[in-house]
């Protein structure tokens, strides 16, 4: 048996693909300019990416609480971070774009922690 694969034959370090490789320059989302139906579709994509982000970078509730989707300040911050990620990993991106994205992630973590602290939400308890 290969030492880096699990008993099921899957590689624990490289999980099954969850996201797609962005193709070209992403478009910013102005949430207030979309219909509720359009927002739901856009939000599904954001939710998938945020779930991946939290898991991939081991972000805890101090940065992204369970109720993040009920706080527009967090939605806007995470949406902007997602946009930057798409730009950094687009097939048209420059070689150092991913490094720049990680620098932006570090800055965003500080802002996310500030937003989360302002919500007053606790694990299992949404306030707002």
| Cα–Cα distance, 54 to 39 (Å, whole number) | 22
3-class secondary-structure state, position 98: helix
Answer whether residue 80 is part of any domain.
Answer: yes
Answer whether residue 60 is part of any domain.
Answer: yes
pLDDT at 107: 97
Identify which of 77, 98, 76 has the alpha carbon closest to the alpha carbon of residue 87.
Answer: 98
Answer whether residue 82 is part of any domain.
Answer: yes
pLDDT in tens, 65-118: 999 999 999 999 999 999 999 999 999 999 999 999 999 999 999 999 999 999
* Stated pTM of the model: 0.83
Answer whether residue 4 is part of any domain.
Answer: no
Answer whether residue 84 is part of any domain.
Answer: yes
The number of folded domains in the chain is 1
Answer whether residue 124 is part of any domain.
Answer: no
pLDDT in tens, 9-64: 566 666 677 888 888 788 899 999 999 999 999 999 999 999 999 999 999 999 99
State CA 35 to chain mean position distance: 22
pLDDT at 10: 60
Q: Residue 103's domain spans which residues?
A: 34-119
Answer whether residue 91 is part of any domain.
Answer: yes
pLDDT at 84: 95
- Considering only CA atoms, give the Rg of the chain: 16
Identify which of 58, 61, 108, 116 has the alpha carbon closest to the alpha carbon of residue 82.
Answer: 108
Answer whether residue 2 is part of any domain.
Answer: no
């Amino acid at each position: 048996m290969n030492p880096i694969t699990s008993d099921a034959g899957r590689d624990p370090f490289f999980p099954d693909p969850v996201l797609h490789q962005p193709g070209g320059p992403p478009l910013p989302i102005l949430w207030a300019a979309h219909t509720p139906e359009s927002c739901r579709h856009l939000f599904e994509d954001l939710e998938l990416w945020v779930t991946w982000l939290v898991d991939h970078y081991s972000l805890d509730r101090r940065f992204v609480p369970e109720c993040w989707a009920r706080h527009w300040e967090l939605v806007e911050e995470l949406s902007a971070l997602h946009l930057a990620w798409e730009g950094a990993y687009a097939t048209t991106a420059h070689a150092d774009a991913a490094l720049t994205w990680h620098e932006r992630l570090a800055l965003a973590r500080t802002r996310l922690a500030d937003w989360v602290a302002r919500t007053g939400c606790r694990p299992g308890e949404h306030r707002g």
